Chain A
Amino acid sequence: MSYFNKMKGGGQSPPQVGLTEVLWSWLGSFLGLAAVSLIHYKILDETGLMMIIGSFGASAVLIYGAIRSPLAQPRNLLGGHILSAIIGVTAFQWLGGEPWLAAAVAVSTAIAVMHLTKTLHPPGGATALIAVIGGESVHNLGYLYVLVPTALGAMVMLVVALMVNNISKNRRYPEFWF
């Protein structure tokens, strides 16, 4: 297929999900985000720590809205976030003087490492990026960013996913753990 022909697409979008699936996705993501936000705003806010980062919104799409996806499984959720956080903090600490370079290196390296470790989780790219562009509050955490908010937040979201996604007889989570 020629270079420009490929741009036409030609495939089709998967079918729309049923209304019950939409409701379960809504409920799961509401409870998941509620859990991490409550910890963030009611417990950690005054300590300088944080529990919520933007990439959790993206994780919610996967682990509550596309629970069959390989990208949404625990291995990917935890592995993708944690590895990307390590890479993001490292990129900022080594290349922070050139933020544009640190940002590009953080995300691209995170994707490569997630691929190589079979932990591809799209929100991981955001986790790596936030380590660079997240401002003072994130930079001050140093490598603690990997544990709190990243690892802990992802685990809280995972626990909610396990509880909510298995209630309906038509839903099952996870497909695999590792």
Chain B
Amino acid sequence: MKEIRNAAFIPVDISEQDVFEAMKHIKGYIDITPGDFKEVYQSAYDLAIQRLLNSLTADKIMTRSVIFVDQEMALVGAADLLAEKQISGGPVVDSNGKVVGVVSEKDFLKEMGFGATPSFMQLATHCLNSKSCMIRRLHNKTVGDIMTKPPITAGSEMTIGAISALFAKHQINRLPIIDDDMRPIGMVTRTDLAHSFDTLGKRSKI
């Protein structure tokens, strides 16, 4: 996980001197030391941030028209579907409609033999330098063979704060949202998450 240096957060911090100056603007004797005020402020600020992160939940930001594929589906069919819908991945369900995995471009590339952290550019390099494109390995396989499992999923009540933590921890880009019966009801992607933070940022200025 990429660590953001603490120094990057300093702009939202206040100093005791800031508090001291602010107190000077308020007429009358304020019965608190600047240090204690800063402590109160920081605790309150943390609570406000938490409230902000908890104010939006998965069901409010997820894409509802979720495209999912059956685990028995042949890879060629799945690739066709993903290409047609212009998405790079989606949840995989079993015959009961329960989510059993997630499949994405990365799983295709991995299966083709491009290692644990495959990229399209590896594929491009390979195909440009040799005649075979390693695509044969994908024949006669089903989605169930290559999907990432067990899937990382979440309920519709998960907050965007918790979703962000999940994305960062597992280095994933999409999170199927499931109901109590493990059926997919939506999908939160990186883009959905970015949108939600953008909206929060704009709202907080009102």
Contacts and interface: CB of A to CB of B under 8 A. Distances in A.
Counting from the closest, the 4 A-B pairs by CB-CB distance are A69-B31, A170-B27, A11-B35, A66-B29
Given A11-B33, A69-B29, 15 more contacts: A10-B35, A11-B16, A12-B16, A14-B31, A15-B23, A15-B24, A17-B29, A21-B27, A21-B28, A65-B29, A67-B28, A68-B28, A68-B30, A170-B27, A171-B27
A49 B59 CA distance: 72
Interface residues of A, number: 20
Interface of B: 16, 20, 23-24, 27-36
11 contacts: A11-B36, A12-B33, A14-B23, A14-B30, A14-B31, A17-B28, A17-B29, A67-B29, A68-B30, A72-B31, A171-B28
A87 interface: no
B39 to A, nearest CB: 10
Interface in A11-37: 11-15, 17-18, 20-21
Contact of B27 (A13, A14, A18, A65): A18
Interface string A63-95: 001111111100000000000000000000000
Contacts of B32: 14
A12 B35 contact: yes
A14 B29 contact: yes
Contacts of B27: 17-18, 20-21, 170-171
A71 B29 CA distance: 12
A85 to B, nearest CB: 24
Contacts of B30: 14, 68
A20 to B, nearest CB: 8
Grouping DSSP codes into helix (H, G, I), strand (E, B) and loop, the A interface class, with mixed when no group exceeds half, is loop
A1 to B, nearest CB: 13
Nearest to B26: A68
A165 B32 CA distance: 20
Nearest to A173: B28
Interface of A: 10-15, 17-18, 20-21, 65-72, 170-171
A66 B31 contact: yes
B33 A14 contact: yes
B31 A70 contact: yes
Contacts of A72: 31
A17 B28 CA distance: 6
Contacts of B36: 11
A15 B20 contact: yes
A170 B35 contact: no
A13 B37 CA distance: 12
A21 B30 CA distance: 12
A51 B124 CA distance: 95
A119 B35 CA distance: 24
Residue from the set B20, B29, B30, B33 with the largest chain A CB neighbour count within 10 Å = B29
A23 to B, nearest CB: 12
Nearest to A67: B28
Contacts of A171: 27-28
A70 B30 CA distance: 10
Contacts of B31: 14, 66, 68-72
